[in-house]
Structure 1
Amino acid sequence: MSKLARDNRNADITKIQIARKQLGLSDDDYRTILATQGNGATSSKDLDHDGRMRVLAHMQRIGFRPKSKPGAPSRRPKRPTPAIDAAPLVRRIRAQLISLDRKPDEYADGIAKQMLGDDAPQFFEWCNLRDLYKISQALGIEQRRKGVPDGR
């Protein structure tokens, strides 16, 4: 079984268990649904893909409502768009992060948090120009320390 197929199977089984809990099904009722909709299965792990889909569809017909729909936005916030005057510095910081072994944007967020303490915004893109320049300087020092060309 491929990793993708295994991940999908595990996600389906988790949805079935969430539906069971949300509907408040007794063990006997749950096993009856598995047996009738899942071609005699006694456990959600015994279900094939079609059986899992039939069980989920049946549970939705009797009242299960998933919390999020497929394709719904994730809980993780997107990176904010910087102000127009800060955009060049943000692009420079991102280029510096790429030159430092493709560090994520969260690395710059951590630098901002360390430099500014509790006053630091959640995302480095929200810092004022002076603070963005400080972050860029700190990344420049890191680039020199690692021997990475800094683009000058």
Structure 2
Amino acid sequence: MMRGQRWATELAIAAGFAGIALGCSVAALLFPPQSQTERLMVVAMAVFLVSALARNMIAALATGAMAWPFLNGFLVNTAGQLAWHGNDDLIRVATLISAAVFGAMIGRSNAAHHQAQARPSTHLTSIDRSQHTTSYDTAPPYGSEVPQSNQPVTVQRPQHPPSQSG
């Protein structure tokens, strides 16, 4: 897979599953069961990172949705049983989905930024100051004739006489 390409949806969902499992494991090892907010933040960071790397919004949403049963069953209830805890679970779901969406958006934005920097410039590329010419790689300046070949275009600059102060 080339740099800058988003992951295939199936691969990104599988990576999301693995990232959530790893995030839940880390959260369980680092924080006791009564530290629900800290555990949620660790899992949300895992969802964010996988989504940012994948840059696939569908997979990010699937990862965020998949994270709630893991969090609820293994880190909130600790016995693998799912249960709805009212507003607390609503906040957990919103946090996980938000982490997924923001992760995918930041990943896409970062990839677009790097892609824009990697594109070759179509602007002025070289100046031969001794000949007073400007060479353009792809497009002539506005108002010039379009060349008939694929050769670079050279535009001759008028030479101005030196100004005399008096």
TM-score by length of 1: 0.31
Greater relative contact order structure (CA < 8 Å, 6+ sep) = 2
Bigger radius of gyration among the two:
2
Structure number with the higher helix fraction is 1
